[in-house]
């Protein structure tokens, strides 16, 4: 078992995610003692700068509740954004003061899914985070709840953390919760057993994870944490899921919580964000042959395999590729506007080039800009 966590010990660049429930009081305000306790652990884990820490922290909306006279997290987006606007400043000020006890600077980085899914934004986000780390600072990352709309929200900071881990090329992702790991049932139930390690999907068969949401100040649940762990592990990043109270043990490589082993290798940046961070602007319907070509042979999508077009999009937008039953089997960046595609349906590129010009002798979605979501 000790050898199994060697990857944790050797990890040089680590992303740590902490949820609202681990930072706030029962009434929803920031708990300074809890913040200081977490910072104590992270400052020690940096090992005098020999280890780099990126902190993905929830808590902005929760921190803004009390100052605005709200007794619970509002349901409407406008008041959530208002609470985030007030709370984000309080959250970062608390981290700034707490890390200053160790002479460590922090840098605030607020992201929306557009910052991960659009290539230029993605590169800019990487450069900013990497430079902060090079200069010895601790980036404090959060979703930009103040301006994020439902269409561009990550939905939870667990998924954001997994994508940030890939963005910064982290060696480890640590998800801190109020539960000390993944259990094979409700952890409050007698007989529920913690799962020490997950080597792949087979280890989760028969495990009851529960619902994605829960009451209180946070938005995540065990479902979102397991999904985030799956995303990171598939991208070649091991994950430790445990409680905030066990953060020191987790970062030291001691056996605590649940370790998700790598299940894949580091993939091209665009494929990970395309699968998990992009919002499809439309959909393309494929015939059976095209579905097989795209999902099994991993070829480009040609006009001949198209049977329908849905939505309004322009060239370069992400679109879902649907099989004959309407299930999304892949996602890709389309090379044509939606209005151009109806006249291309089912036709060969050779015929299109002869009739419409050489610009039409190309793929609808190139295989390098395509990721398979489900095997057919």
pLDDT of residue 28: 67
- Do 257 and 188 lie in one domain? The reply is yes
CATH code for the domain of 359: 2.30.130.10
Domain stops at, among 272, 295, 318: 272
Sheet holding 197-198, edge to edge: 106-111, 138-143, 52-57, 13-18, 172-177, 239-243, 258-260, 197-198
- Do 212 and 101 lie in one domain? The reply is yes
| 143: confidence class by pLDDT, cuts 50, 70, 90 | confident
| 33: confidence class by pLDDT, cuts 50, 70, 90 | very high
- Do 34 and 73 lie in one domain? The reply is yes
- Do 238 and 313 lie in one domain? The reply is no
Task: Kindly state the greatest CA–CA separation across the chain.
Answer: 71
- Do 29 and 114 lie in one domain? The reply is yes
pLDDT of residue 240: 96
**First-residue to last-residue Cα distance in the chain:** 37
pLDDT (tens digit per residue) in 307-325 = 999 999 999 888 999 999 9
For the chain, strand residue ranges (E) read: 13-18, 52-57, 106-111, 138-143, 172-177, 197-198, 239-243, 258-260, 282-286, 306-311, 318-322, 328-334, 365-372
Q: Which domain holds residue 363?
A: 280-372
Q: Give the C-alpha separation, 78 to 145, whole Å.
A: 10
Number of structural domains (the chain) is 2
pLDDT of residue 151: 42
- Do 254 and 308 lie in one domain? The reply is no
Q: Which of 3-17, 42-56, 302-316 has the lowest mean pLDDT?
A: 3-17
Contact of 19 with 58, CB cutoff 8 Å: yes
pLDDT (tens digit per residue) in 73-105 = 888 888 988 988 999 999 999 999 999 999 999
Domain stops at, among 229, 255, 272: 272
Average pLDDT over residues 32-37: 95
Q: What is the mean pLDDT of the chain?
A: 86
pLDDT (tens digit per residue) in 150-184 = 543 455 789 889 989 998 999 999 999 888 999 88
Backbone angles phi, psi at 307, to 5 degrees: -120, -10
């Amino acid at each position: 078992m000790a050898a199994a966590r060697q990857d944790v010990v050797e990890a040089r660049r680590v992303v740590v995610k902490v949820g609202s429930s681990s930072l706030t009081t029962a009434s929803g305000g920031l708990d300074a003692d809890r913040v200081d306790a977490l910072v104590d652990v992270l400052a020690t884990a940096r090992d005098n700068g020999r280890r780099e820490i990126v902190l993905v922290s929830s808590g902005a909306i929760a921190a803004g509740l009390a100052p605005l006279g709200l007794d619970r997290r509002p349901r409407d987006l406008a008041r959530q954004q208002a609470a985030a606007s007030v709370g984000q400043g309080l959250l970062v000020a608390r981290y700034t003061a707490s890390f200053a006890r160790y002479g460590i600077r922090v840098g605030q980085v607020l992201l929306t899914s557009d910052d991960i899914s659009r290539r230029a934004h993605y590169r800019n986000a990487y450069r900013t985070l990497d430079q902060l780390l090079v200069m010895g600072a601790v980036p404090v990352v959060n979703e930009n709840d103040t301006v994020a709309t439902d269409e561009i929200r990550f939905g939870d900071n667990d998924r954001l953390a997994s994508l940030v881990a890939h963005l910064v090329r982290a060696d480890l992702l640590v998800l801190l919760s109020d539960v000390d790991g993944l259990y094979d049932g409700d952890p409050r139930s007698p007989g529920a057993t913690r799962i020490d390690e997950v080597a792949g999907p087979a280890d989760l068969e028969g495990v009851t994870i529960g619902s994605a949401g829960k009451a209180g100040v946070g938005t995540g649940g065990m479902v979102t944490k397991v999904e985030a762990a799956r995303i990171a592990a598939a991208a070649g990043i091991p994950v430790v899921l445990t409680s905030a109270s066990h953060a020191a043990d987790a970062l030291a490589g001691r056996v605590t919580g649940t370790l998700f082993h790598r299940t894949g290798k580091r993939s091209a940046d665009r494929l990970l964000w395309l699968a998990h961070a992009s919002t499809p602007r439309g959909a393309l319907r494929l015939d059976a042959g095209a579905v097989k070509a795209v999902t099994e042979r991993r070829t480009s999508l040609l006009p001949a395999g198209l049977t329908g077009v849905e939505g309004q999009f322009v060239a370069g937008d992400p679109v879902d590729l649907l099989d004959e039953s309407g299930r999304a089997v892949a996602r890709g960046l389309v090379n044509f506007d939606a209005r151009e595609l109806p006249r291309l349906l089912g036709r060969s590129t050779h015929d299109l080039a002869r009739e419409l010009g050489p610009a039409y002798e190309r793929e609808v979605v190139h295989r390098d800009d395509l990721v398979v979501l489900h095997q057919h």
